Amino acid sequence: MPRILAIETSCDETAVAVVAADAAWPGFAPRQLSSVVASQIDLHAAYGGVVPEVASRQHVETLPFVLERALQQAGLEVTEVDAIAVTCAPGLVGSLLVGLMGAKTLALLYDKPLIGVHHLEGHLFSGFLTEPDLRPPCLCLLVSGGHTSLIWMKDYGEYQTVGRTRDDAAGEAFDKVARLLGLGYPGGPQIDRWARQGDPERFPLPEGKLDHPYDSSFSGLKTAVLRLVQQLQQEGQELPIADIAASFQARLTSALAQKAVACAEALGLSTLLLTGGVAANRELRARLTEAAQQKRLRVVIPPLALCTDNAAMIGAAGLCHWLRGEVSPLELGVASRLPLEGIPSLYLGGGGAHPEEQTGSAAAVL
């Protein structure tokens, strides 16, 4: 059975994993043999957010150790894997470059094929690691610090973004509101915790109204919280943090859950996958599960370690490309942005410009 070594460094986690296929294609049942994640969260907390320069330097320092541990845990040498997969877009350019350079070095040293992976496609594959019988088509609600998207997976390698945020990503909105309330970074887990003791009905906050049924907007909601906080402060009142957190969270999660279920229904899909860091939110999990069950949709929510950034999901996506005969050229570059439709450009014969040619600055660094 094929085995893939995978590297993920697109943001603030340095991660390496080994993933194997348990079944013959197309039911390839990816399974992680090891998965190691070194989080930089404490390093960035002092700045209240990820500092790109700090992130890339830390990846350089940490990657060799994470790689060694992932191979140890899998009980394998690099010579024993079939290919090296690596996140090459989208993400922080400096951070992506560290992972890509590491992957290229291994590919050249050990004469292994290189497989560039789109980070969001990786997130989708956390579902396949969770439930081996999962098959496309399905709808994925991907909610993280950088993304809020509804992705229609029509088949392996065939995706369409059917809903996106017009402004902040959901995780970003959580982080910004947490900051307004004087809570630490990252804010999502703090709001989640405070909201448990709060009254979600106390403050009727507005939900952004859009002309598109599956797009989201959180800036109106965020501004409403800002105004509320300012008003309460002017009145000299102590901030009812739990009630504000609960009211904000209820609005945001109900909007996301309703849109995801309505979208799945409209597309005639029977499976809904929830992933990304915000999938850790207890209320979002509960609301989505309840709304989906009412419509008899299957809901797949990976364990938290697979929802947040990790290399096992990149390995699973890489494995899928490997089984489809898709490998990347060694000249592969990185891109801070790349639509899902650009995925074929990462592979030999895929046509179009691969990321190196799309990002002048990244190409210059290379």
Q: For residue 188, which phi and psi values (nearest 5 degrees)? A: -55, -55
Binding-site string for ligand KG4 from residue 153 to residue 172, where x marks contact by CB under 6 A and - marks none: ------------------x-
Question: What is d(CA 252, CA 240) in angstroms, rounded to the nearest whole number?
Answer: 19
| Minimum CB distance to Zn ion smaller for 308 or for 358 | 308
Please state the closest distance from residue 298 (CB atom) to ligand KG4, in A. 23
Binding-site string for ligand KG4 from residue 243 to residue 282, where x marks contact by CB under 6 A and - marks none: ---------------------------------xxx-xx-
256 binds, among Zn ion, ligand KG4, none (CB under 5 to 8 A by kind): none
| Minimum CB distance to ligand KG4 smaller for 113 or for 208 | 208
User: Residue by residue, what is the 3-state secondary structure of 196-264?
Assistant: CCCCCCCCCCCCCCCCCCCCECCHHHHHHHHHHHHHHHHCCCCCCHHHHHHHHHHHHHHHHHHHHHHHH
Please state the closest distance from residue 54 (CB atom) to Zn ion, in A. 18
Q: Answer yes or no: are the C-beta atoms of 17 and 311 closer than 8 Å.
A: yes
344 binds, among ligand KG4, Zn ion, none (CB under 5 to 8 A by kind): none
| Minimum CB distance to ligand KG4 smaller for 122 or for 342 | 122
Which residue number places its CB atom closest to Zn ion?
Answer: 309
> For binding to Zn ion (CB under 5 A), which residues are involved?
144, 309
Question: What is d(CA 173, CA 278) in angstroms, rounded to the nearest whole number?
Answer: 11
Please state the closest distance from residue 227 (CB atom) to ligand KG4, in A. 22
Question: What is d(CA 293, CA 289) in angstroms, rounded to the nearest whole number?
Answer: 6
Q: Record the tokens describing residue 291, joined without a space.
A: 């709304």
Least Cα distance to 272 among 284, 281, 283, 282 occurs for 284
| Minimum CB distance to ligand KG4 smaller for 83 or for 85 | 85
* Contacts for 230 with CB less than 8 Å, ≥ 6 apart: none
Q: Which of 121, 243, 309, 356 binds ligand KG4 (CB under 6 A)?
A: 309
Give 104's Cβ-side CA count (13 Å radius). 15
Q: Answer yes or no: are the C-beta atoms of 317 and 121 closer than 8 Å.
A: yes
| Minimum CB distance to ligand KG4 smaller for 136 or for 146 | 146
Amino acid at 29: A
Q: Which of 48, 49, 132, 189 binds ligand KG4 (CB under 6 A)?
A: 189
Please state the closest distance from residue 275 (CB atom) to ligand KG4, in A. 8
Please state the closest distance from residue 250 (CB atom) to ligand KG4, in A. 13
Please state the closest distance from residue 245 (CB atom) to ligand KG4, in A. 10
Beta bridge partners of 141: 150, 274
Beta bridge partners of 117: 87
Q: Does 136 bind ligand KG4 (CB under 6 A)?
A: no
Amino acid at 69: R
Amino acid at 272: L
Please state the closest distance from residue 279 (CB atom) to Zn ion, in A. 11
Residues contributing to the site for ligand KG4 (CB under 6 A): 11, 144-146, 171, 174-175, 186-189, 192, 276-278, 280-281, 308-309
